[in-house]
Amino acid sequence: MDVGIAGSAREAAVLAADLVAAAVVASASPVLGVATGSSPIGIYDELAGRVERGELSLARASAFMLDEYVGLPAGHPQAYRAVIDAIFTRQVDIDPSRVHGPDGGATDVEGACAAYESAIRDAGGVDVQILGVGTDGHIAFNEPSSSLASRTRIKTLTRQTRLDNARFFGGDLDAVPTHCLTQGVGTILEAREIVVVATGAAKAEAARQMVEGPVSARWPATALQLHPRVTVLLDPEAAARL
Ligand code: GLP
């Protein structure tokens, strides 16, 4: 695990974008893993700037989302599909039909999860996974106690994560879905490279556990220590407890 403490959140995003861009140019058909949340927004903005300036193209790329809420009506602005469209897909030159996500509206949930795993495999696997981390150490929606070998499946969201995400639903906890479909920790660990960004004081404990804690389902992000090619980029506030 390479750990970089950047001077600022913006610098962390630029360093992360450098790694993503390098993976993109290294492949004839790059496969990106894209995360929602606020952590990766700086990376997407930086990639979008490079595309706009003609320094990078995602025209040959495809992308796989990490997770999706269950039960939001189609087109809901907080559905992760809509969020990724807004913060990533529409900002760059990727073909929108090649941006994939788990089907949070599926009636056959198990089938949808298995189909998603197959789609990732059929694309050749993820070249570079962009990842944030929750305040409780979750990655994607793999909450504490998730199996470190888990695959894409339905999960119940913890109260802490629903509280953290209530800000996206007008502060109304009741409006935050209770379930999600998420890539498992085992799915995420199959990406060939993983770039994690965590910024702000609220992430300091999760960052400390991810980098220095014992590998444990108590803090799912600690599983990243088992991956041979992970870069963690922190700002000084998130790095404060290292
Ligand atoms: C959500 C997402 C995660 C994300 C986390 C942190 O729970 N499912 O993928 O890493 O939030 O969000 P933020 O980056 O906004 O702190």
Three-state DSSP class for residue 4: strand
Please state, in angstroms and rounded to a whole number, the distance separating the CA atoms of residues 142 and 127: 21
Which residue type is seen at 193? E
Residue nearest to atom 1 of ligand 1 (CA): 37
Q: What is the pLDDT of residues 189-234, one digit of tens each?
A: 999 999 999 999 999 999 999 999 999 999 999 999 999 999 999 9
Nearest CA to ligand 1 atom 9: 140
CB 58 within 8 A of CB 93: yes
Compute the distance between CA of residue 142 and CA of residue 139 in angstroms, rounded to an integer.
5
Q: Is 160 in the pocket of ligand 1 (CB under 6 A)?
A: no
Domains annotated on the chain, with CATH: 2-234 (3.40.50.1360)
**Cα(173) to centroid(ligand 1), Å:** 16
The whole-model pTM stands at 0.96
**What number does the ligand 1 atom closest to the CA of 37 have?**
15
Judged by DSSP in three states, 172 sits in coil
pLDDT in tens, 122-161: 999 999 999 999 999 999 999 999 999 999 999 999 898 8
CA of 144 to the centre of ligand 1 (A): 14
Q: Which two tokens stand for residue 158?
A: 């913890």
Sheet holding 153-156: strands in order across? 67-69, 179-182, 153-156
Q: What is the rounded CA–CA span in Å between residue 141 and residue 179?
A: 9
